[in-house]
Amino acid sequence: MNMKKQIIIILFAGLALLSSCYDAMNEVPLERMPPEIAFKDSIKVEMFVNELYVGLNTGLGGYNRFGGGSANQNSFFDCVTDLGVLSPVSTNTEVNSFTRATFHSGSGGNKDARWAETYQLIRKTNIVLAYIHYCETLSEARMAQYIGEAKLHKAILHYEMLKRYGGISIMDELFEGGDINIPRNTFDECVEYIVRLCDEAAAGLPLRYPDNDYGRLTKGSALGLKARVLLYAASPLFNESPIANTTELQRYASPDRTRWERAANAAYDVINLRLPDGTLAYELYPSYERLFFTREGNRELLIMRMQGLTNNVEKRNGPAGFPGATGNTSLTQEFIDMFELKSGKLSKDDPAYDPQKPWENRCERFKASVLYNGSSWWDGEVETYVGGKDYTALNSTAKGCVTGYTLRKHLDPEVRISGVEKNTYHDWPILRFAEILLSYAEAANEYYTTSDDEMVDDELIYTYVNLIRSRAGLPPVENKTKGEMRTIIHRERTVELAFEEIRYFDLRRWREAETILNRPVHGVQIIKDESTGEFVYSNPIEVEDRIFPERCYYYPIPQSEMNKNMVLTQNPGW
């Protein structure tokens, strides 16, 4: 059997169920057709393109997608950062491999490697792009859309590898055998390749689809990914603050401040995208809490991982004392301390703050992100005090809250997980408009001001940050220096985008991971006075130590791939 037929068999293996009814009406089964026949029919072409969306469901973020155990043992990836802790503490091998920096290049050594599966998915995009022109019945607009979708999927997949490894081997064309020794491209080449794919995809993609195509990639998706990639590439790790022994495979040859300008311009282009009627294509959804469960009228999500109606997120992360919930995710004191009070001050800077009532006068995002002792939840109250129904001790292997605070974000209070169950939409936000606003603010702040002591005078920086703060019920910021504004923007990104798989890679690109992820995380113990019913919060206590050596700024290339491709160069420190 020739290589082309083998390719079609591989691609359509995942489509067997979708195509079985169609195949029954054809003399030749779909998966056995040569490409010039399979791609001639527009229905089959659409099936090929739809299959590419599997890539968005494979490792590109997700609820409790990390951990490798049964559902009630899996973790948000953010639990390897300073934001959260998987409960019970230190009992999950995959999570431990990141918090203790023991992941490695050997077989099974890094469950977030994604090397082989990503190249398999890239291959599928190349199949579509190589053969789609066999179809003569597609309209010009539909042909451009499908090509745009395939190119953007390919860009997303290359970016997912770039952020993990630095420069990788660009796979631009369909590989049909021969010499598989393909060297890595430089970091610069990979960035420019992804940006080019985004621009080409944007040219063929619409800004909106009919409701029955909700969730497909759009022009805004393409330009939004471009903005993310350019912000990533402008960051210190790849410019002025590289780690030791890196080369142009992992970073630029020399730093260049104009990369911040390019990132700011790319974000600005997304912010100002307009629909044919002149209205802005994207906007913040009014409710921070409800944006994660709402499709109708929600113009904040640019790229999402689509899911049907479910209550699995609530089951895995709801407080453990409620029937059906396992309480996987405890929140650290470090995360709690990042939430400003309604005064616009941090708790350490506000004399009115009462550490015995840490929930009082917090911003709206706090209420939508954190369940604390005494919170009303479902048909009861949260009890994270010692001995409470939602509590577990640090040395226990039982499920429960170990820090005094448990996850509220992504949990819908209207869902029910026991008795008569009720579900909701849980579309995972891969990229949303709030991130684009903060990307402009970060890039413009770094480019348009030179010294950290210089006052920021770009009004758009304040405008875009304050749009997000306003939704959170916080006062606007103004009259800040570059250094002060950097601190605010970094904190806004952390709080706004928490538990969306942004934090880990932000800390790496800022070159802050070896500090922030290289020390213990903390919580509090809450003691109930049985005689008065009052609760006493302890000072912060250490919950789990964390380790982040310099080598962890880049993942190790799996040794199995190094063995296949003899010209691959391993990342430093591995």
Residue 62 half-sphere exposure, CB side, CA atoms within 13 Å? 17
pLDDT value at 12 more than 50: no
Mean of the per-residue pLDDT values for the chain?
93
Residue 376 half-sphere exposure, CB side, CA atoms within 13 Å? 2
pLDDT tens-digit map of 234-277? 999 999 999 999 999 999 999 999 999 999 999 999 999 999 99
Radius of gyration from C-alpha coordinates of the chain:
24
User: Which secondary structure element, helix H or strand E, spans residue 300, and what is its range?
Assistant: none
Angle in degrees, CA 302, 306, 307, rounded to 5: 150
Least confident range of 19-33, 274-288, 289-303, 347-361: 19-33
Structure tokens at 534: 């009052």
Query: Dihedral sign, CA of 377, 379, 385, 391?
Result: negative
How many DSSP H helices and E strands does the chain contain?
19, 14
pLDDT tens-digit map of 453-472? 999 999 999 999 999 999 99
Please name which of 513, 511, 496 lies closest in space to residue 548, comparing C-alpha atoms.
513
pLDDT tens-digit map of 385-402? 999 999 999 989 889 999
Residues 330 and 524 sit within 8 Å (Cβ to Cβ) = no
| φ and ψ of 528, to 5 deg | -95, 125
pLDDT for the residue 175:
80
pLDDT for the residue 69:
63
pLDDT for the residue 293:
95
Structure tokens at 573: 């420190």
Mean pLDDT value of segment 191-218:
96
- pLDDT classification of 308: cutoffs 50, 70, 90: confident
pLDDT value at 43 more than 50: yes
pLDDT for the residue 34:
86
pLDDT for the residue 8:
39
Stated length of the chain: 574
Residues 543 and 332 sit within 8 Å (Cβ to Cβ) = yes
Instruction: Tell me how far apart the alpha carbons of residues 378 and 373 are, in angstroms, rounded to a whole number.
Output: 14
